[in-house]
Amino acid sequence: MDVTTTFGLLNLDKPPGPTSHDLVARVRRGTGVRKVGHAGTLDPMATGVLVLCLGPATRLSEYVMASSKTYRAQVHFGVETNTYDADGEVVAQNPDPVAEGDILAHLPEFQGEIAQVPPMYSAIKRGGKKLYELARAGAEVEREPRPVTIQRLDLLAWEPPVATLEIECSPGTYIRSLAQDLGRALGVGAHLAGLERAASGGFTVEDAVGWDEFAQAMEDGTWPDYVLPPDVALLDMPVLHLDPPQAANVRNGIWVRVGDDHQPPNTLARAYDAEGRFFAVLERRGSKWKPHKVFNV
Active site residues: 43
- Contact 58/36 with Cβ under 8 angstroms? yes
> How many whole angstroms separate alpha carbon 281 and alpha carbon 292?
5
> How many whole angstroms separate alpha carbon 2 and alpha carbon 204?
27
At 252, which amino acid appears?
Answer: N
Q: Is 214 helix (H, G, I), strand (E, B) or coil?
A: helix
Other residues' Cβ atoms within 10 Å of the Cβ of residue 9: 24
> How many whole angstroms separate alpha carbon 186 and alpha carbon 174?
19
- Contact 270/233 with Cβ under 8 angstroms? no
Q: How many CA atoms lie within 13 A of 267 on its CB side?
A: 18
In sequence order, what DSSP letters do the residues of 129-181 get, joined into one string?
A: EEHHHHHHTT-------EEEEEEEEEEEEEETTEEEEEEEE-TT--HHHHHHH
Q: Which of 88, 106, 99, 285 is nearest to 192 (CA)?
A: 88
Cα distances (angstroms) measured from residue 122 to each of 116, 136, 274: 13, 11, 46
